[in-house]
C-alpha cells in the first residue's frame, strides 16, 4: 500500500495497561492499514489528568509490552491534550486508527488525515483484567453525611473498588443512603458492616473515629478515616501501630495530601528552589451555618474541624518537630472556638495555621524562603495554581496542576493501591504527619484552647511532641 512510493504511516494511541488480546487485535488491524505503525503510549501524568487512575503497569512496562508485540515500527509518548493534531503532522501520518469505543470522538482529526474506527474487541478490557488479577476491594461506608455522598460519586471513578454496604447512627438514613447511591446493603450496626467488608471509610462524627478505626483494625478491616483522624498523638500512634501489627492499611482522609498539585508543591518547596524555608502561613476558613455540626461542642470548633489542612501543609513543608506552639483563639456563643491562629516556632523557621468557622479570611498558603517565595491562592487545599516568586521577576514561574472532580478520587486511589500492593505506608500522608496533626489538635483541646471572647494565648513547649 504505497502512495507515490512513500510508506503509508498509521498512528494509534492508548494506555495499553496489562496488554491483552483486545489491544493486540487493534494493533494488528491498525498495522494492516498501512506500511508503518506509530503507537502513542500515554504517559502516567496524561492518564492521571484524564481521570484514568489505577493504571497498573508503569509507562516503561507498557512501552516494553507494545514493543514486544513486534507490531509497532515506532513508539512515542502521548503527554498532552491535542498532541494527536501535532503528531499526525510531525510524523506525516496518513491514517489515524482507534477502537470503536471512541467512535465520533476523533472526527476532528479528519482535517489532517483519514480517521478509521476499528471494531473494539468484545469481552476483554484492562479494567476487567485489573479486577480479575488483583481482586476487588469490598468497601463499607460508616456515616451518611454529605461527605459520604461525595465519596460515593468519586469512588465510582476508581477501579478495583466495590461499594458493598453502609451503616450510620440512624438505620432509616442508612437505608435511604444505600438506595440513593445504589449500594447493595444498609447495615443495622457498625459491627455488621465490618463483618462483610475488606475495607471501611469512616466519615461519621469526629468523636467516633478512634473507636471505629480501632474496632475495624481489630476485625482485620483496612481503614480510610476522615479527618480529624484522632484527637491526640497517642491515639494516632496507637492506631498506626495496630495497623502495622495486623498488616492492614490505615490512612487519614485529608484529600489535600493525595492531590497531584499538592504533592508537586511540597516537592518543589523542599527542593530548595526558594532557598531555606523560613516561614509557612496557611489559612483555611469555612463559615458554619447556624445549627451546623461544626458549631456543636465539644467536638466541633475551628481547630477540630479545619486545622488538619493547614497543619498538614506545615508538617509536609517543614518536615521536622517544632519547639513551641501557641494558640490565639476567639470563642463563639455556642461554646466552641470560632477563629484560631496556631503559631509554631521551629529551630530555623516559624509557621502559622489560621482556621475559622465564625469568620472569613482569604484561604491562602504562603511559603517564605531565603531566596524567594511560593504563593498558593485559595483553594490551596485543592492545589492547582502555584506561583513561585523571586526578587528578579524574570525568574518567576506560574505552575498549574490538574485536579479532577471533587479530588477525593486521589485519596481513594491511593488507599486501594496500598491494599492491593500490600503497602503499609504512604509517603503522601505519613504516620508522623497524622500524629503531628492529632497532637496539635489534642493540645489545643486539652490545654491550650481558649474559647473566651477575649483572645487567649498560651505557648506550649513541644520538645516531646515529635
Binding site for ligand C2G (CB under 6 A): 13-17, 22-23, 26, 42, 78, 98-99, 101, 120-121, 124-126
- The answer to whether the bond into 228 is cis (omega within 30° of 0) is yes
Least Å from the CB of residue 45 to ligand C2G: 13
> Closer CB to ligand C2G, residue 59 or residue 124?
124
Least Å from the CB of residue 341 to ligand C2G: 47
Least Å from the CB of residue 258 to ligand C2G: 22
How far is residue 420 from each of residues 135, 224, 242, 413, measured CA to CA in Å?
Answer: 8, 14, 19, 11
Least Å from the CB of residue 117 to ligand C2G: 9
> Closer CB to ligand C2G, residue 78 or residue 164?
78
φ, ψ (nearest 5 deg) of residue 379: -90, 100
d(CA 77, CA 16): 12
Residue nearest to ligand C2G (CB): 99
- Asked if 142 and 187 count as a contact pair (C-beta separation under 8 A), the reply is no
Query: Residues 82-90: contacts with CB within 8 Å, 24+ apart?
Result: 83/40, 84/11, 84/13, 84/40, 84/109, 85/109, 85/112, 87/11, 87/38, 87/40, 88/11, 88/112, 88/113
Cα-only R_g, the chain: 25
> Closer CB to ligand C2G, residue 125 or residue 278?
125
d(CA 461, CA 26): 65
d(CA 305, CA 253): 13
Least Å from the CB of residue 137 to ligand C2G: 22
> Closer CB to ligand C2G, residue 124 or residue 136?
124
Least Å from the CB of residue 124 to ligand C2G: 5
Which residue shows C-alpha cell 480510610?
A: 224
Residues in the chain: 466
> Closer CB to ligand C2G, residue 65 or residue 209?
65
> Closer CB to ligand C2G, residue 52 or residue 227?
52
Least Å from the CB of residue 421 to ligand C2G: 21
Asked whether the CA dihedral 218, 248, 304, 292 is positive or negative, the reply is negative
- Asked if 343 and 325 count as a contact pair (C-beta separation under 8 A), the reply is yes
> Closer CB to ligand C2G, residue 26 or residue 351?
26
Amino acid at each position: 500500500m504505497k502512495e507515490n512510493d512513500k510508506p503509508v504511516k498509521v498512528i494509534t494511541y492508548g494506555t495499553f495497561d496489562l496488554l491483552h488480546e483486545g489491544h493486540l487485535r487493534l494493533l494488528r488491524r491498525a498495522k494492516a492499514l498501512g506500511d508503518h505503525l506509530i503507537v502513542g503510549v500515554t504517559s502516567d501524568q496524561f492518564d492521571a489528568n484524564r481521570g484514568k487512575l489505577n493504571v497498573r503497569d508503569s509507562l516503561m512496562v507498557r512501552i516494553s509490552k507494545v514493543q514486544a508485540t513486534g507490531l509497532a515500527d515506532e513508539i512515542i509518548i502521548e503527554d498532552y491534550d491535542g498532541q494527536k493534531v501535532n503528531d499526525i503532522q510531525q510524523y506525516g501520518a496518513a491514517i489515524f486508527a482507534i477502537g470503536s469505543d471512541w467512535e465520533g470522538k476523533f472526527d476532528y482529526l479528519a482535517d489532517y488525515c483519514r480517521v478509521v474506527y476499528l471494531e473494539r474487541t468484545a469481552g476483554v478490557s484492562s479494567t476487567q483484567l485489573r479486577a480479575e488479577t488483583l481482586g476487588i476491594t469490598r468497601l463499607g461506608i460508616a456515616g451518611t453525611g454529605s461527605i459520604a455522598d461525595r465519596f460515593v460519586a468519586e469512588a465510582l471513578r476508581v477501579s478495583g473498588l466495590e461499594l458493598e454496604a453502609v451503616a450510620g447512627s440512624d438505620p432509616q438514613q442508612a437505608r435511604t443512603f444505600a438506595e440513593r447511591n445504589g449500594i447493595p446493603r444498609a447495615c443495622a450496626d457498625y459491627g455488621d458492616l465490618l463483618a462483610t467488608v475488606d475495607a471501611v471509610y469512616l466519615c461519621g462524627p469526629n468523636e467516633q473515629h478512634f473507636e471505629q478505626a480501632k474496632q475495624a483494625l481489630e476485625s482485620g478491616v483496612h481503614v480510610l478515616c476522615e479527618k480529624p483522624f484522632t484527637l491526640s498523638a497517642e491515639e494516632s500512634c496507637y492506631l498506626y501501630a495496630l495497623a502495622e501489627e495486623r498488616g492492614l492499611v490505615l490512612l487519614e482522609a485529608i484529600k489535600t495530601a493525595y492531590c497531584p498539585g499538592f504533592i508537586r508543591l511540597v516537592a518543589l518547596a523542599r527542593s530548595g528552589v526558594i532557598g531555606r524555608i523560613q516561614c509557612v502561613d496557611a489559612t483555611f476558613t469555612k463559615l458554619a451555618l447556624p445549627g451546623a455540626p461544626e458549631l456543636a461542642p465539644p467536638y466541633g470548633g475551628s481547630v477540630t474541624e479545619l486545622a488538619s489542612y493547614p497543619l498538614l501543609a506545615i508538617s509536609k513543608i517543614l518536615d521536622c518537630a517544632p519547639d513551641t506552639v501557641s494558640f490565639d483563639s476567639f470563642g463563639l456563643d455556642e461554646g466552641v472556638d470560632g477563629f484560631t491562629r496556631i503559631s509554631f516556632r521551629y529551630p530555623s523557621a516559624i509557621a502559622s495555621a489560621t482556621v475559622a468557622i465564625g469568620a472569613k479570611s482569604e484561604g491562602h498558603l504562603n511559603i517564605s524562603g531565603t531566596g524567594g517565595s511560593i504563593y498558593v491562592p485559595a483553594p490551596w487545599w485543592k492545589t492547582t495554581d502555584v506561583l513561585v516568586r523571586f526578587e528578579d521577576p524574570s525568574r518567576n514561574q506560574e505552575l498549574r496542576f490538574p485536579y479532577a472532580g471533587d479530588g477525593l478520587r486521589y485519596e481513594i486511589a491511593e488507599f486501594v493501591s496500598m491494599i492491593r500492593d500490600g503497602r503499609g505506608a504512604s509517603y503522601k500522608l505519613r504516620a508522623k504527619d497524622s500524629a503531628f496533626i492529632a497532637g496539635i489538635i489534642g493540645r489545643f483541646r486539652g490545654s491550650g484552647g481558649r474559647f473566651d471572647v477575649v483572645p487567649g494565648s498560651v505557648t506550649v513547649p513541644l520538645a516531646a511532641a515529635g
